[in-house]
Chains A and B, each alone.
Chain A
Amino acid sequence: MIALLRHALAALRAAPGRALVVGLGLALSLGLPALVLLGVQDLAAAVRARAAAVPLVVGAPGGEADLVLGSLYYRGQPARELSLGSRVDLLDRPDVDVLPLVLGAAAQGRPVVGVDTGWFDLAGPALARGRRPGVLGEVVLGAALAAELGMGPGEELVSDPPERADFVGPTSVVLEVVGVLAETGGPDDGAVFTDLSTAWLLRGELHGHAEVQAEDALPEVDGEAGVTEASAAVFLFERLSPEARRAVHGHGDGDSLPVSALLLFPADQRAHDQVLAELLLDPERQVVRPVAVVDRVLGVVLAVREGVVGLMGLVGLGCLGLLGVVLRLDWRLRAEERALVATLGGPRWWVPAQLVLELLVVGAGATAAAWGLVALGRQVILGLLVGV
């Protein structure tokens, strides 16, 4: 038996290209369908678990998928937003916790998510290091992002300027990292979290500048007597000292500030059903159950998955057919070898057995490679959820 194995290995070494091609074909035929099956299954489970953690999401009327993807997975933001004042009636309900969310800001290309401090108790992961934000300019980092940037409490992070260019609008702001969240394997790991006011500051809804004095102003314009137009001498704050924080303000009523979504956490099923029924009748707001939206999206993904796996199965069958052709050709090519073994007095089963062993060795290698492909691929697919 050992001698047979040695012959089989020697034969494989003598024709490494053939072994590699056969092994690769087998590995891909086995691994790719398994990767698609398991990888999508993992992703679906993770996405669904995320959606199940937030019972209800309220947003401006519009695309449900955008609302859920933005508020739970920080992918983009809804096209329309609510105002902060839209939560007032919900705040009066002691049986529902309401957490506003502000999207649209970024730092180092990563989403900066403005949250009510209650988010850290109800929806967010625990803090691994440091504390939650308290004042303007303080942020906490997701675990994977902190590891990638090599940052922790006490470090500084510079925000990205907002998309709308305005030469007197907000520039980048220096943010202070005060905490790092525990790893979850989900989208929280790749984001930056701060309070609502800081998110508005980064988006430009709030800003800070020194008092506009006459000596810093441009000459008055005819017809605008008494209006002092600031010149570039009035600098917008980039670093938030206590004095700068005191000067940050918005224009207009605080309740008019925009929020991307409201996350609702009813105390029990009764409160859930009541608030859902009330909001379904509200023409100014839309309420969605993230699990239902995700199930609809995943239904499409899973159907596509079935199709892809089916196609891969056909490709796999084709590969097996090709393998059969290769084996048949190999058998024919070994006619001289078979004759030689017979001449030397070897048993008739020697060459077939050697061929089977060669196939088993290549098959074992292909299986190991397929297993590695699936394991690595599942990590990559789950990494898409984190976005890092």
Chain B
Amino acid sequence: MTAGRTAGLLGLLGTLGLLGSLWSCSGTGPPPEPAAPPRIATLSEVAHWAVGAVVSVEAVTVELVPPLGADPGEWQPSGAEVAALAEADLIVANGAGYEAWTATAALPAQRLLLLTEGQELIERAGAVHSHGREGAHSHGTVDAHTWMDLEALALSLERLEADIAARLPGVVVPAAREATQARLRAVDADWHRALAPLRGTTIATSHPAFAYLARRHDLELNELDLDPEAAPSAAQVAAVRAWAEDRPVDILWWEARPAGVAYEPLGGGVHHIVVDPLEHGPGEGQPLDLLAQAEGNTAAFEETARVLGELTPAP
């Protein structure tokens, strides 16, 4: 091999070696860990469902804070659990007093979004009493079951999407929200059609969960306080019988399938129909599927209309 070729070969090897070292040096160290996705904490199953309808689950972590099936009016987090909520990027609740504990909890107002923001709420009067210098007053509240007005719920999804997008860019999916809104409005139309024959008739309900439904669809309701799993008290039985007296058709909506001990004492003339208040999943441990469960209520309303039609005496 000539000196020239040797020099050329050595030069080539040296250049390759230099390029190789540069290439290996350019990527020193382990690759950076991807940033954790933003976290949205939801304070009730309705809020959880709503957030799921507007965001991409790949882009954000959505975490339901209370245990599945817990009653938001009764469940109370510990101080440590509330303090941990301050770490969430956003917190979404239904509002209107549904998550009762939030009224006095230390939540960051700047990052708390309410589904009921801007909605016209139904107020309920409490017992009037007095103490101290402020005189007579009542601890009246607002009805929290706002999602039973499906049109209002559809509008709230739009506001929620805008609020989330303003704070967490890139996580909302407008197409998903639009599809959910379309389904909600379709179900709302089905409800309106199914409930039309009920206008002018007072329906009793076991639980004050249907006021927004009544307002939306021009219904009259008599709200009782009956537990589907427990026997009614004498006063409750008397209230039902007083309502049923002189009424041709007595229909009672239950928020869950009542046990025999709950409905048998009310008398055989009352027709019991289950209407899902859309607060929890259909079974224990099952998450709320609001749209599917709302679609199921259409059948309950049609059944109510059928019973009313069959049993209403002809004029």
Contact = CB atoms under 8 A, between A and B. Distances in A.
Given A212-B129, A217-B129, A230-B131, A117 B86 contact: yes
Q: Point out which of B100, B103, B139 has the most chain A C-beta atoms below 10 A from its C-beta.
A: B103
A100 B107 CA distance: 12
Contacts of B78: 134-135
Contact of A229 (B80, B131, B167): B131
A381 B81 CA distance: 41
A132 B137 CA distance: 34
Contacts of B131: 168, 209, 212, 229-230, 234
A124 to B, nearest CB: 12
Given A134-B81, A251-B134, A254-B103, A227 B108 contact: no
A230 B79 contact: no
B179 interface: no
Interface in B67-91: 76-86
A13 interface: no
A91 B132 contact: no
Contacts of A116: 106, 108-110
A168 B133 CA distance: 8
Given A217-B129, A230-B129, A234-B131, A248 B104 contact: yes
A131 B83 contact: yes
B136 interface: yes
Contact of B80 (A134, A166, A254): A134
A94 B167 CA distance: 7
Interface string B94-135: 000000110111111111000000000000000111111110
B40 to A, nearest CB: 16
Nearest to B73: A246
Nearest to B127: A228
A64 interface: no
B130 A229 contact: yes
B36 interface: no
A226 interface: yes
Contacts of A120: 86
B79 A133 contact: yes
Interface in B252-304: none
B166 interface: yes
A136 interface: yes
Q: Point out which of A98, A100, A117, A131 has the most chain B C-beta atoms below 10 A from its C-beta.
A: A117
Contact of A227 (B101, B133, B136): B136
A102 interface: no
A150 interface: no
A118 interface: yes
A242 interface: yes
Interface in A29-63: none
Contact of B129 (A118, A178, A228, A245): A228
Interface string A178-199: 1000000000000000011100
B80 A227 contact: no
Contacts of B167: 94
Contact of A195 (B106, B110, B128, B133): B106
B140 to A, nearest CB: 10
A212 B131 CA distance: 9
B79 A178 contact: yes
A224 interface: yes
A94 B107 contact: no
A344 to B, nearest CB: 84
A226 B128 contact: yes
Q: Point out which of B78, B83, B166 has the most chain A C-beta atoms below 10 A from its C-beta.
A: B83
Given A94-B166, A249-B103, 20 more contacts: A87-B109, A98-B110, A116-B106, A116-B110, A117-B83, A132-B86, A133-B106, A134-B84, A135-B104, A136-B104, A138-B106, A212-B129, A212-B131, A226-B128, A228-B128, A229-B131, A245-B76, A245-B104, A246-B76, A251-B137
Interface of B: 76-86, 100-101, 103-111, 127-134, 136-137, 139, 166-167
10 contacts: A116-B106, A133-B83, A134-B85, A135-B101, A196-B106, A197-B106, A206-B104, A212-B131, A228-B128, A230-B129
